[in-house]
Amino acid sequence: MSSIKHVAIYGKGGIGKSCTASNIAAACAEEGHRVLVVGCDPKSDSSITLVGRRIPTMMDLILDGREIKEEDVVFEGYRGVKCIEVGGPEPGVGCAGRGIIVAIDFLRKVSRVLEEVDLVLYDVPGDIVCGGFSAPIRKGLVSQAYIITSGEYMPLYAANNISKGLLRLNTPLSGVICNSREAAAGREKEIAERFAEELNSRLVAF
């Protein structure tokens, strides 16, 4: 049985998913782990802080129709963290979630990077919990899921919808991460802890 951990980080757009995923990747790399970050947002900005620049997206290269090699899509960043950006259509044009599956299937044909790491982090937008964004879980790509929120209404609303989606997919919520905005008059941690409890989960970081 594979010991590679595949972890999805969900949350409302702008809540700090990419920043958190990058910091987790960097911390794990500093501990000697081999890490791959898979950016699943059409904005393709998940790896900027690790690589120091924007990198080409897999979907753009696939649509170009030319031959793709590993070095075209897998880039090395801070402390050896491997990074890929799935990319995908803008909102209203197509399903970015399904693009994730296409990109991962294609990646397996040109690279063994998914088998050469200890941890795979999927940075997944979750403003709208649609069938496409459930695809990584339904296809068995993800075994653990974390939700990032703050103590504010809209991030909590999005986080609650994401948790419902995970429940429908029989995927346990491994924990809630609160990216503090210093909101709720100093009660933000209390709100995040209560929210996690209501989801039968736990606040793992604040």
Strand partners, 83: 37, 75
Catalytic residue among 5, 41, 43, 109: 43
Q: Where are the beta strands (DSSP E) in the chain?
A: 5-11, 35-39, 75-76, 82-85, 119-123, 144-149, 173-178, 203-205
Both tokens of 25, joined, read 């990747």
CA distance 25 to 171: 22
Which residues lie below 8 Å from residue 114, measured CB to CB, with a gap of 6+? 4, 36, 104, 107, 108, 120
Distance CA 3, CA 1 (A): 6
Contact 41, 89 (CB under 8 A): no
Of these residues, 17, 41, 82, 123, which one is catalytic? 17
Catalytic residue among 41, 82, 123, 127: 127
The answer to whether residue 109 is catalytic is no
Cβ(43)–Cβ(123) below 8 Å:
no
- 112, 12 contact by CB (below 8 A): no
Does the annotation mark 12 as catalytic? Answer: yes
Which of the residues are catalytic?
12, 17, 43, 127
